[in-house]
Amino acid sequence: MKKRIKKYLLLEQLPSLRQLILDVFEEMGEKMGVKFEPFIISPSIASAGNLHKVLGENNFEFVIFNLDFPFATYTDFKCPKDFLIYLDLKYPIPKKLVIIPHTTVFQILQLSNLVSIDGFMDALDCNAETLRLAVQQLTDYSIFYSRTVIQLITKYIYNEDILGQQDYLILNELSKGTPLNKIPKKLFISRTTIQRRRTKMKEFFKVEGLPDSELVKRAQQERFV
């Protein structure tokens, strides 16, 4: 009996990780009695074609991509966010699994608020066992979060009463080197509120009296931003 074909789109620039994903999908296909057929877009495949066309001509069950994939160089999209928004609006059916090289609480919040994502995986969690679990859960119409992502979501929930959305936005701007006097205009938050939130965050991260660079350093060490 001919196996049912399930297509998936893979955008991954790291050869080792790309091969791991291909191997796991082939293995899981055998286990589930289907044939997972990949369409790969990678820096080494110049004939990958126009991504809009690829999405329009194929009914993909999954879209798996690395958040660090050089979209601007190898696709019609300027950045991963543009691709996610387009995918969410035009092709909401495929399960989206995003692999993040260095996951932070802010990244999870930012992406979750932007579009509907079915799976988050930190790149360091990306091994055969975790990928098998991801494929199985996503196939069963569930969601999937890898171990590190779950830890960060738990950290966010545990500290939600202390660190709010404004705090993450302020921390993100500080981490990018945005001058403090420019942040109110960028975030539409008053200077007074920013000063008050910054003081509270320094208390939370135990860097009172130290420069903002120490606040950012501590927040990055704990993977809040």
Instruction: Please say whether the dihedral angle defined by the alpha carbons of residues 202, 205, 210 and 212, taken in this order, is positive or negative.
Output: negative
Which of 21-35 are b and which e, b meaning 16 or more Cβ less than 10 Å from the residue's Cβ?
bbebbeebbeeeebe
pLDDT for position 3: 87
Residue 43: how many other CB atoms lie within 10 Å: 14
pLDDT for position 46: 46
CATH homologous superfamily for the domain 4-155? Response regulator (3.40.50.2300)
Q: Dihedral (C-alpha) 168, 87, 63, 65: value to the nearest 10 degrees? A: -40
Partner residues linked to 121 by β-bridges: 99
pLDDT for position 49: 60
Instruction: Please say whether the dihedral angle defined by the alpha carbons of residues 96, 102, 105 and 109, taken in this order, is positive or negative.
Output: negative
Domain chopping of the chain, boundaries: 4-155, 160-221
Does CATH number 1.10.8 belong to domain 160-221? no
**Residue 177, Ramachandran bin (φ over 0: left; ψ between -120 and 50: alpha; else beta):** left
pLDDT tens sequence for the chain (225 residues):
688 999 999 998 889 999 999 999 999 999 999 999 999 988 766 445 678 888 999 999 999 999 999 988 878 888 888 999 999 999 999 999 999 999 999 999 999 999 999 999 999 999 999 999 999 999 998 899 999 999 999 999 999 999 999 999 999 999 999 999 999 999 999 999 999 999 999 999 999 999 999 999 999 999 999
Rg of the chain over Cα atoms, rounded to whole angstroms, equals 20
DSSP for 150-177 reads HHHHHHHHHTTTTS-HHHHHHHHHHHTT
